[in-house]
A and B are shown apart, each in its own frame.
Chain A
């Protein structure tokens, strides 16, 4: 079945079963591998993308759910907030193994887009669903605050 949606600014149509998880549509059909598989059960956040600007877990989103909607992945995330987040991530050397970081960045951009000056509690709430086994949490928190400093709010 054909599903059409806007992906990173371009209209795309894919022929997949409607219940195929968006994660695998992105990775296997569209070859966008920046979005990661971690648990397949919305427990780890590695597969986080934006749908209509909101951070969601693509492993629990079916292809049919995104018909006509706007999907943004780590490869296509742009704008002041994304630029500030990625600059802060690089400046503070947040990453270690890096596997979860696409999801962390997408969740952080989602948070700062809604709330440009988050408190530590806001960060806990928004980021608790994103596991980092390297436990880079201290630097993720610092990088979110760093990015917030450069954003109007």
Chain B
């Protein structure tokens, strides 16, 4: 990105700042505008933002080499780029003013969008814009000293609050053109099935349906309005060839993965000699964890608008990977890059769902436009059912962690084996993200375990499954954070140590981890005593996307035995908090997103068919389940790191069937071979589905009512991290 291109002054006082990345709620537009405004010394009230067009040369994400956002890189990748852009523009405005007024540039000051000279002359950015554009671009504009920041670090209001509170924000689905058709697609009920034949007679009888045609991903219904397109979709009869489809049930996939746990996988990390560590251990504990498929279920179902006239095309989409979406459109339509315009528009949530390596939303819209062959705009709309049954889930994972303790209660050996499906294999990301057969997204959080353990090994089995999978907010940390933090809690309990102290003792070389843990513990009153009667308390800690988050959760049980997360104290270290209120909002929301998965929905498959189709079968967190949240941000001068995802991790649910929420504990000193079944988080009935443990912090030492009646064999402290809820 050339600095001069990212912000353009117009002959108005308004300052448009082009956002090279999509925004789907994470506050990117606000954050990027803050960076530009800071170095420009702009007037916040005049800041306007707009989305940049698809252009990988100007707007690429330096972390990926393409235009796109993911991995919570929006602000971290942009911190210097956008500040330089602002500083460059300011230098050119000052130079233009100096030339026009015949005064030295160093006598000119800029404040709140006004350029002034001590002699009394002044001008707005808009008045100087044309002249400034003719000035030479400075090689190395000077960036401000952080102590002089006016915007960065302050909670300036979001740029999109008003349009999104009044219904004015325009999402993909809101695009309307006079001659537009709306398309729905009947997609295969099993992944990998193809169209054998179809009968369009009933669909074509529906008023408003204008065309039914086969496309690579199914059969499309084109209609003059959305309701007709949806009715046509229901009326269409398609016969599928499922000879190459994935027809297993999710239970069978889990069982196959579990069998793999007994064999060594590829090594993702190896410190010391883990076998020697186990030999020296006085106690060995082993626990298995299961994690189900999860749907992202953003509020705006998938959609895409395309207008194609045979020679050129325009596309409107809440694109998160512009370079990939743009390239797919060019490939499908057989057009050169300059003939295809991709307009990024507000996205109604993503959580990873709109960052797809196969660009299937754009691709199928272009397939329909090409097959239809008339130059009218076509809006492809997915129903909620299409969205939920359509794949691209957080993959199923199964974990086993075996840990050895010495006589003093130190962890001296740790073997963590993970079985799952690679997200990046077969996508454009494979070449950079798959190393030596290991998909980093499968092991991140496990392979980066910060605790000081002398003998540590992390292994991975990547299995082939015919279900499309995808990153889901916080990616690998959705499962690794839970498994590792849960295991640390089991070991803390085993050694009789306080969960916070136990962790801090292993974090001497990781001050930022320790910092957030101490801050969360302090703010939650961890040291000063137990939570109120009837409540339980737990803690968890995790780093993801280079940000550090610790949570302390207070949890109680509802009358029916289900878990209620009452309060979460969250501490985050994300370097410089460009806008602390946006950081807090991302922690609140990230935590709620993870908690929804921990407490509620899971996607399951029976004979290859997804069993959930809407928010009844796959329920999500609702108002009454949202805990009170307090967010504390560590003051830092480090470069900013991600906040969109790091709030989510530990809370994600680890297993769909409470009855199986047992860990296996193997006391090696007592009996080499005997496996002792032991519930990890007490009896299922109690924390039943939640196991906040995973989710967070359930301290079962608390007085949770009549535990015996619920079948709790022994009191244990289950902890998790709602923190990362």
Interface contact A90-B157, CB-CB below 8 Å: yes
Smallest CB separation, A71 vs chain B (Å): 14
Closest to B161 in A: A90
Number of interface residues of B (CB under 8 A): 63
Q: Does A110 sit at the interface, judged by CB under 8 A? A: no
Interface contact B176-A89, CB-CB below 8 Å: no
Chain A 36-64 interface 0/1 with B at a Cβ cutoff of 8 Å (1 = within): 11111101101000000000000000000
Closest to A88 in B: B165
Which residues in chain B, 127-171, are within 8 Å of chain A measured between CB atoms?
A: 157-158, 160-171
Interface contact B225-A98, CB-CB below 8 Å: no
Interface contact B349-A135, CB-CB below 8 Å: no
- Once A35-B167, A97-B346 are accepted as A-B contacts, the answer to whether A135 and B591 lie under 8 Å apart by CB is yes
Q: Which of A20, A41, A93, A128 contacts B614 (CB 8 A)?
A: A41
- Once A90-B161, A134-B349, A135-B596 are accepted as A-B contacts, the answer to whether A20 and B227 lie under 8 Å apart by CB is yes
Q: Which of A36, A93, A132 contacts B581 (CB 8 A)?
A: A93
Q: Which of A96, A124, A128 contacts B25 (CB 8 A)?
A: A96
Q: Which of A46, A128, A138, A141 contacts B299 (CB 8 A)?
A: A46
Q: Does B624 sit at the interface, judged by CB under 8 A? A: yes
Q: How far is the CA of A130 from the CA of B25 in the complex (A)?
A: 17
Smallest CB separation, A23 vs chain B (Å): 8
Residues on the B chain within 8 Å of A138, using CB: 588, 592, 626, 628-629
Q: Which of B170, B348, B595 has the most CB of A within 10 A?
A: B348
Q: Which of A17, A35, A133 contacts B298 (CB 8 A)?
A: A133
Q: Does B477 sit at the interface, judged by CB under 8 A? A: no
Interface contact A97-B166, CB-CB below 8 Å: no
Residues on the A chain within 8 Å of B538, using CB: none
Smallest CB separation, B281 vs chain A (Å): 41
Smallest CB separation, A135 vs chain B (Å): 2
Q: Which of A28, A31, A38, A39 contacts B226 (CB 8 A)?
A: A28
Interface contact A105-B299, CB-CB below 8 Å: no
Q: Does B297 sit at the interface, judged by CB under 8 A? A: yes
- Once A38-B384, A90-B157, A99-B348 are accepted as A-B contacts, the answer to whether A74 and B167 lie under 8 Å apart by CB is yes
Residues on the B chain within 8 Å of A127, using CB: 623
Closest to B647 in A: A135
Smallest CB separation, B348 vs chain A (Å): 3
Q: Does A21 sit at the interface, judged by CB under 8 A? A: yes
Residues on the B chain within 8 Å of A102, using CB: 167
- Once A97-B24, A135-B589, A135-B626 are accepted as A-B contacts, the answer to whether A41 and B157 lie under 8 Å apart by CB is no
Interface contact B169-A98, CB-CB below 8 Å: yes
Which residues in chain B, 237-296, are within 8 Å of chain A measured between CB atoms?
A: none
Smallest CB separation, A122 vs chain B (Å): 11
- Once A34-B166, A133-B298, A135-B588 are accepted as A-B contacts, the answer to whether A95 and B158 lie under 8 Å apart by CB is yes
Residues on the A chain within 8 Å of B595, using CB: 135
Residues on the A chain within 8 Å of B36, using CB: none
Q: How far is the CA of A24 from the CA of B208 in the complex (A)?
A: 13
Chain A 120-150 interface 0/1 with B at a Cβ cutoff of 8 Å (1 = within): 0001110111111111111111000000000
Q: Which of A44, A74, A99, A123 has the most CB of B within 10 A?
A: A99
Q: Does B174 sit at the interface, judged by CB under 8 A? A: yes
List 6 extra interface pairs beyond A131-B299, A134-B349, CB under 8 A: A41-B615, A89-B165, A99-B298, A105-B165, A135-B590, A137-B623
17 A-B residue contacts at CB 8 Å?
A: A24-B225, A28-B226, A37-B381, A39-B615, A40-B383, A75-B167, A93-B161, A98-B163, A98-B165, A98-B346, A99-B298, A131-B615, A132-B299, A137-B626, A138-B588, A139-B585, A141-B623
